[in-house]
Amino acid sequence: MTIRVLLADDQALLRATFRILIDSCDDMEVVDEAADGKEAVELTHTHRPDVVLMDIRMPGTDGLTATTAVCADPDLAGTRVLILTTFETDEYVAQALRAGASGFLGKDVTADVLLGAIRTVAAGEALLSPLATRSLIARFLAAPTPADRLAPPEHLANLTAREREVMALAAEGKSNDDIAAALFVSPLTVRTHVHRAMTKLGARDRAQLVVIAYQSGLVQAPPPES
């Protein structure tokens, strides 16, 4: 199945470069380009892409506002947002995750990493760059305001013990293969547990599942480095 990608960046040269790169792959295609956040939201409604490759700093409506609009719209539940920006700061990562982004990468990544990220996010997995570490997620999301909370802690009672165990390991940044090796099960079994946990908790994707793990206290935030 071809992965349909929408490009949202205010720099025409970058959009052209990304289009050439993405269209060169047999398993993905660019469906359209947006020069600002408002246009990105409109074109997402028009094309219903699998992935929106979203810049943060754009004129008018910025990428974080556009991401929030896309991820909060039930009609766009099948679309994932991958943030790609030169401003790879802790606060931007946190805001992107709260907005519902499934991935976050700096623009200094290689072509192979970018293409792999698009495939990962399209498959419903979460993807964060090396700077978006476990401690960063914990620092910003372990104690959210009520408006930021995705699911109350008591909702964890709806999960089986194995689903909670898999969810906790996912929140620590482990891949399905890593979790499978740790629990002596198959990656397919892990994926099944992840998706069941997402369904029960109303998580849009793996990134939101990670956020819920910290918000609910299932995974504790590590102490700040001195």
> In CATH, what number is assigned to the domain containing residue 207?
1.10.10.10
Which of 147-151, 166-170, 211-215 has the highest average model confidence (pLDDT)?
166-170
Note whether 121 and 204 are same-domain residues.
no
**Does residue 157 share a domain with residue 101?**
no
Model pLDDT for residues 10-39, shown as the tens digit of each residue:
999 999 999 999 999 999 999 999 999 999
Domain boundary pick from 73, 102, 132? 132
Identify whether the C-beta of residue 71 lies closer than 8 Å to the C-beta of residue 96.
Answer: no
Verify that 56 and 154 share a domain, yes or no: no
Same domain, 16 and 118: yes
CATH code assigned at 68 = 3.40.50.2300
Maximum alpha-carbon separation in the chain: 50
pLDDT in tens, 84-112: 877 655 567 777 777 788 888 888 888 99
Please write the tens of the pLDDT for every residue from 188-197: 999 899 999 9
Q: What is the count of structural domains for the chain? A: 2
Q: Are residues 21 and 52 in the same domain?
A: yes
In a domain, 222, yes or no: no
Whole domain around residue 43: which residue ranges? 3-132
Domain-located, residue 70: yes
Residue 178 within any structural domain of the chain: yes
Phi, psi of 222 (to 5 degrees): -70, 155
Q: Per-residue pLDDT for 162 more than 90?
A: yes
* 221 in a structural domain: no
Q: Is the pLDDT of residue 151 over 80?
A: no
Say if residue 76 is in the same domain as residue 148.
no
> Is residue 117 domain-shared with residue 17, that is, in the same domain?
yes
Residues 112 and 162 in one domain: no
Q: Is residue 225 part of a domain?
A: no
Report yes or no on 138 lying in a domain: no
Last residue of a domain, one of 102, 132, 162: 132
Residue 223, pLDDT score:
56
Residue 10 within any structural domain of the chain: yes
CB 116 within 8 A of CB 129: no
More confident residue, 65 or 206: 65
Give CA separation, 125 vs 14, 28, 86, 98, 222, in Å.
Answer: 25, 17, 22, 16, 24
Residues 10 and 93 in one domain: yes
89 located within any domain: yes
Q: Is 147 exposed, middle or buried (0-12, 13-18, 19+ CB in 10 A)?
A: exposed
83 and 155 together in one domain: no
Boundary (domain end) residue, out of 132, 153, 184: 132
Q: Check the CA dihedral 106-111-112-114 and report its sign.
A: positive
| DSSP secondary structure, the chain, as one string | -PEEEEEE-S-HHHHHHHHHHHHTSTTEEEEEEESSHHHHHHHHHHH--SEEEE-S--SSS-HHHHHHHHHH-GGGTT-EEEEEES---HHHHHHHHHHT-SEEEETTS-HHHHHHHHHHHHTT--EE-TTS-HHHHHHHHSS--GGG-SS-GGGGGGS-HHHHHHHHHHHTT--HHHHHHHHTS-HHHHHHHHHHHHHHHT-SSHHHHHHHHHHTTSSPPPPPP-
188: amino acid identity, one letter: L
Q: Check whether residue 66 and residue 158 sit in a common domain.
A: no
pLDDT digits (tens, 9 = 90+) for 124-147: 776 655 445 455 555 555 555 555
Residue 128 is predicted with a pLDDT of 59
Both 81 and 153 in a single domain? no
